[in-house]
Amino acid sequence: MNFEISDLRAFVATADLGSFRAAADLVHVSPSALSRRIEKLEGALGVRLFERTTRKMELTIVGRSFLDKARNILTEIDSSLLGTEDFARRMTGLVTIACVPSAVSYFLPEAIDAYHSSYPGIRVRLIDEASSEVFLAVARGEADFGLTYVGTQEPDIEFSPILQDPFVLACPGDHPLAARASATWSDIAGLDYLVLAQGSGNRTLIDNALADAAQPPQWFCEVRHVPALVSLIEAGLGVGVVPRLAMPRGAHRSLVSVPLVEPSVTRTLGVIRRRGRGLSAAAQHFFQLLVNPRRGS
């Protein structure tokens, strides 16, 4: 068969992005050059890989079957070459990660910096959204993998736990509860209490934990995202309950976290990926930087 690795890369990029223009930008060629690569690959295989219309491109049945084989070939090649420093620095591509906002600051800055230093030609796209959107991004193939705290029973999604993340009471540094070794939910009753909106994964975990509480805290202000909640608490509007990972790292005079008990509430943070589909070599190296920095380096 007369085709090249660059033809396979063009095919996989087009399948992932659904657009000649977007795929061409990713592999650094013109749309017309990328189209010729796809046609060359189809000619070598003797099959049509895409159904082309004026509005969109879709993989044929044969194209969907061949996509996994093409990924496996590229993963084997890239894995063998990524250990070569010169190749690693010249390699191009895109790694897309979906992540809940409250975990961004804990997991990603150091990993992105280290990854960019090793693979400067590979771009990193971050989808920072609520847990439901992280799940959809992975399920739809819009992200290589996701960092989230909601496991799933969906047969096509695999959830691998990484760590336990307890919820803590966040309060200003001069608040009476700031010096406590721990606080109970009853300690919050009667205070100016800020919460996450109904329907968010974090709110659901908290509401379930307090389902049997005689008098759960009554909120006066509701926001959609954890970073906004942390900012309002830091500004002195009141107290709130947030995941520990959402708290600023290091010493922070204006904002304090206090362990919560009676009951303690914990979420399991982990990585989700589509079952049966391995990560590309580039995505696998980034994944290792997240879960095991020494192995990823």
Supply the CATH number for residue 55's domain.
Answer: 1.10.10.10
Packing angle of the helix pair 5-17, 20-27 (nearest 10 deg): 130
Q: Assess whether the previous peptide bond of 263 is cis (omega < 30° from 0).
A: yes
Packing angle of the helix pair 226-234, 101-118 (nearest 10 deg): 110
pLDDT at residue 54 in the model: 59
Q: Looking at the domain assignment, is residue 280 inside a domain?
A: no
Could you tell me if residue 104 is left (phi over 0), alpha (psi between -120 and 50 degrees) or otherwise beta? alpha
Backbone Cα Rg of the chain: 23
Supply the CATH number for residue 217's domain.
Answer: 3.40.190.10
Q: Looking at the domain assignment, is residue 292 inside a domain?
A: no
Closest listed residue to residue 102, CA positions, set 137, 135, 129: 129
Backbone angles phi, psi at 160, to 5 degrees: -120, 110
Residues spanned by the domain of 47:
1-82
**CA 71 to CA 11: how far, in whole Å?**
10
Among the three residues 82, 98, 125, which one is the final residue of a domain in this structure?
Answer: 82
pLDDT at residue 153 in the model: 64
Please list, residue by residue across 134-162, b when 16 or more beta carbons sit within 10 angstroms of its beta carbon and e when fewer do: bbbbbbeebbbbbbbbbeeeeeebbbeeb
Among the three residues 82, 116, 136, which one is the final residue of a domain in this structure?
Answer: 82
The tally of domains found in the chain comes to 2
Q: Looking at the domain assignment, is residue 89 inside a domain?
A: no
Residue listed under structure tokens 């399948």: 15
Among the three residues 46, 66, 82, which one is the final residue of a domain in this structure?
Answer: 82
Q: Looking at the domain assignment, is residue 129 inside a domain?
A: no
Q: Looking at the domain assignment, is residue 293 inside a domain?
A: no
Q: Looking at the domain assignment, is residue 75 inside a domain?
A: yes
Q: Looking at the domain assignment, is residue 24 inside a domain?
A: yes
The length of the chain is 297
Mean pLDDT, contiguous 10-residue spans, the chain (297 residues): 83 82 83 90 90 76 88 78 63 86 84 88 89 87 87 76 92 92 92 90 88 83 91 93 86 83 91 81 83 54
Q: Looking at the domain assignment, is residue 88 inside a domain?
A: no
Closest listed residue to residue 76, CA positions, set 292, 281, 228: 281
